[in-house]
Chain A
Amino acid sequence: MTRHLLSIDDLSVEQIQEIFETAAEMHDVQRREVKKLPALRGRTVINMFFEDSTRTRSSFEIAGKWLSADVINISAKGSSASKGESLRDTVLTVCAMGVDGLVIRHPASGAAQQVSEWVDAVVVNAGDGMHEHPTQALLDAYTLERRLGSLEGRQVAIVGDLTHSRVFRSGVKCLTKLGAEVTVVAPPTLMPSGIDEWSRTAGFEVNYDLDEVLPKADAVMMLRVQKERMSGGYFPSPREYTVGYGLTRERLAQLKPDAPICHPGPMNRGLEIAADAADAAQSAVLEQVSAGVAIRMSVLYHLLAGEETP
């Protein structure tokens, strides 16, 4: 296994399958009365979150605790970072306490990679700016595999704010590695620049018309409209976004009835996804959350339980 998990590029297809197989076992632990495995006893994991998060941080925390690691959460608010301490000083200080694993989320793209060069601890990227969010991509692909069986040749649509989305960047890499045929859909203003060349080399499709893509999709992943990363001007009005690119009740009817609907959360109900779609029987949103714990247990186990990799 890789030493750090910074990007989906760090993982081979075999390693992804290994993570999935372990996650399936971890899923069973979630249903047990005693939700505890001793694999990381005596190891310390710090969750360092320089951005707000509910599900990613809490699922990393639960994952670490169920594996018997000692887990400490540090958020930017209330830490020395808010007094102006540099990222380097903050992580070096924390690691000097004797930390084995560092789970980091940071608004700057490349932060996790940078931190991994400063410290001895194993680093897991829990989202760095607009770059990557590998554990989200793994749990999304894992959720889809559990619903659909193998992803080989399956049509997956990723829809929404692609420019600002690290979930999309990690997700498209992970899904294409596993053999899925990915089509990405966004309004032109939210399509990343250079997408045409990227899609050609990486092997996925680009489309601007959701109504053309939806009926063929075996699964659809709706992305959140990230209002906090936008200084306005990407689309005229929320209403217009919904009409063009939201998964509305009308569009839900065009979708295959067994095609899972994913959303990494938090959802803007009524904007990118209608309540009818979010709560539909084919929605996989809550499965994604429970898969998130299993996948993160699997990742922490593979990165931290075995012998030290130099």
Chain B
Amino acid sequence: MLEHPPPAPDPVGSSRTVLDRDDIARALTRISHEILERNKGPEDLVLLGLHTRGVPLATRLAERIAAVEGTTVATGSLDVTMYRDDLRQHPTRTPHRTEIPGDGIDGKVVVLVDDVLYSGRTIRAALDAVSDLGRPAAVRLAVLVDRGHRELPIRADHVGKNLPSARTERVDVQVAEIDGHDEVRISDTGGAR
């Protein structure tokens, strides 16, 4: 995938679409093929979506893999609230459901699926959560958007779009299952985040 040059600075308050519905569909199709290629087939794959928007994305990837391979892929959801390193900086949040496929994740290839990769702290928390649930053969990471600004030594294996962004900008992923339509937008918050 070609990396796009950094966008020209937008005026404060402006907002634009980075990926539309078709772009998102194409990115997910490509990621699903990458996952299969990397894993040399659908065997032992478990797709774990991170709450909130990673969950429907994981389901869609599994549907695409099923369409290509003619076999179903185990999916689940992972909530990392209790594992976050910034718990003490916010009022407590109610955790979402963590649902692990019946066969568990021991010896499986777990692909974590999230919408945006940013500081990497959510993924750090997810790795801790996964290790409390079992011992996978490997853990990989697929994200729809990588916006940079990592604070930890973490990178994604599969990226829908690399989106160089300023810290003051805000990246919003909307998915039909939750928001009614598919879109990735970037907007300038003028410093407030």
Contacts and interface: CB of A to CB of B under 8 A. Distances in A.
Interface string B70-108: 000000000101110001111110111110000000000
A202 B83 CA distance: 41
Given A25-B97, A307-B91, A301 B133 contact: no
B92 A34 contact: no
A293 B16 CA distance: 48
B89 A307 contact: yes
Contacts of B97: 25
B95 A25 contact: yes
A306 B88 contact: yes
A38 B82 contact: yes
A243 interface: no
Contact of B79 (A18, A25, A33, A301): A25
Nearest to B134: A33
Interface string A165-190: 00000000000000000000000000
Given A34-B132, A36-B132, A39-B82, A28 B92 contact: no
Contacts of B83: 37-39
Contacts, number: 48
Contact of A307 (B88, B94, B96, B98): B88
Interface in B109-148: 128, 132-134
Chain B, interface residues (CB within 8 Å), range: 10 to 19
A32 B104 CA distance: 11
A67 to B, nearest CB: 8
Nearest to B104: A33
B98 A28 contact: yes
Contacts of B95: 21-22, 25
B132 A32 contact: yes
Contacts of B133: 32, 34
Interface in A218-270: none
Contact of A306 (B92, B96, B128): B92
A38 B132 CA distance: 10
A1 interface: yes
A188 B139 CA distance: 65
Interface in A288-307: 301-302, 305-307
Nearest to A36: B132
B164 to A, nearest CB: 32
Contact of A38 (B91, B96, B128, B134): B128
Given A25-B79, A39-B82, A305 B88 contact: yes
A22 B92 CA distance: 11
A218 to B, nearest CB: 27
Given A25-B98, A36-B132, A305 B79 contact: no
Nearest to B125: A38
A2 B71 CA distance: 49
Of the listed residues B82, B95, B98, B134, the one surrounded by the most CB atoms of chain A closer than 10 A to its CB is: B82
B101 to A, nearest CB: 14
Nearest to A21: B94
Interface in A22-50: 22, 25, 28, 32-34, 36-39
A39 B87 contact: yes
B14 to A, nearest CB: 33
A18 B94 CA distance: 6
A190 B31 CA distance: 68
A309 B91 CA distance: 8
B132 A1 contact: no
Contacts of B82: 37-39, 67, 301, 305
A306 B98 contact: no
A26 to B, nearest CB: 8
Interface of B: 79, 81-83, 87-92, 94-98, 128, 132-134
